[in-house]
Structure 1
Amino acid sequence: MTDSKVKKILIVDDEADVTELVSYHLKAKGYQVEAINNPNNSLGTARTFLPDLVILDVMMPDLNGVQICRLLRADPQLKKVPVIFLTAKAEESDRIQGLETGADDYICKPFSTKELVLRVQSILRRASEGGGEEVKKLQAGDIVIDIERHEAVVCGKAIELTATEFKLLRLLMERRGRVQTREHLLINVWNYETEIETRTVDTHVRRLREKLGAEADWIETIRGVGYRLAERKVQTCPT
């Protein structure tokens, strides 16, 4: 079942030309858009607007996009809202820092508005996907995910996962024991059907492993190919 509610998008960029351009194209696709050019107002606006997705510039005065993303992730109401960084900082290290901060995607300026809209649609689609009717919970050792509640528990303790991390873990658990190539993961988790930087997958897997803690080695790296969830693993959770 698809979610018919109009999705709300918050754009934060100190360049008015950028916010006007992005707002125009997103509104044309039926989204409700709020755009602000003062980064200092971003968190307050987000708390009242309660967006379904946030597009953040990185290089802004006073408060940059990375700092804003951290503030969003620390807010109980906003911590699971998907974030796209839209920035002129195109170095690989910048992209990795953005993803490690908790962003779901990273688009470099100059950018294609068509690509941006497609990525927005892709992220909102996977963020709103509900749990399957047949299987409501998946378990591997001491990792348990509740698909309906969108919750993950490791060694009896709940962990916080972004929408992307949850879908990545769910896919690996559903296809346990089967190797998933990076390209396959990009298509099935990120819904990208074109050539996109596969380092995105590696960064998200590393973040997911960190959150899984003692259970991290359930996710096996298949060198030069991709990843898989192990068939079995030695018990490592503390008693």
Structure 2
Amino acid sequence: MLWLLLCFADALVVASFEVIVPDKHLLAIRGGSAVLGCEFTPDPDLSNLVVTWQRSEDSQVVHSFYYQQDQLKKQSPEFHNRTSLFISELHKGNASLRIAEVSPKDAGLYLCIVSNAKGTGKALMTVIYGALYSEPRLSIHVNSTTVTVQFETEGFPKPEVIWLDEHGQNLNYHLELHDQTEDGLYLVKSSYEAQKPTVNVTFTLKNHLLNQNLQRPVFLSYDKDTTANQGTIALVLSVVCFFLVIAIIWFVRRRNKQKPSAVNHVN
């Protein structure tokens, strides 16, 4: 009977210890810091506390704490000088991990494993990576009959791209999507080819993960008469410059011919 009571008491102790992650899914933004929350049943005595964070996919050690201090000898090189615990909060049951300078490689599954005198437990969470798209860079290419308007930007994940006309109707467009940047970002190049003489379109890019919505209107108008006049002015200026160069050359040569006679007159 006493043995059963002891077993029941041990079971209560084990059941009273738990490890939880408040957020099962955490959104980490490029270049910033991410705090992976983890809570456990605290014990004022930290001498028996062991906290280990590791990647679930490959068991890489992200951060370790035992003997009342950080233990980073087995830490994966990818996380060197980028991780820290909230040491002053450990006695309260806070085993949250801070990861600085978030990059695409930080996305994935993480295990928070904690043990102390009250028990051992673990909890799993997912880190999702995102990057805001940069300010779209505009370029315009003009030929005899059409105008091509292009926007270029980088971000993550894959965006939704829309081109609209002045009436809000969808337009057919060209889209190039590359994921070969050094930061693991998608490079987006999207263009629309319009007929002259007027271009009135709006480029829209949506990053649904980060609730980012970029809209950039483009309005261009071409006047055929103005274009012709500009061509005539350019031709006239070219002719004037040509005769000006001829006049300068003639003046220099005449001056050089006059120099010897001036010297002889002095002698």
TM range (shorter): under 0.3
**TM-score, length-normalised on structure 2?**
0.22
Higher strand share: 2
Higher helix share: 1
Structure ID, larger Rg? 2
**TM-score, length-normalised on structure 1?**
0.24
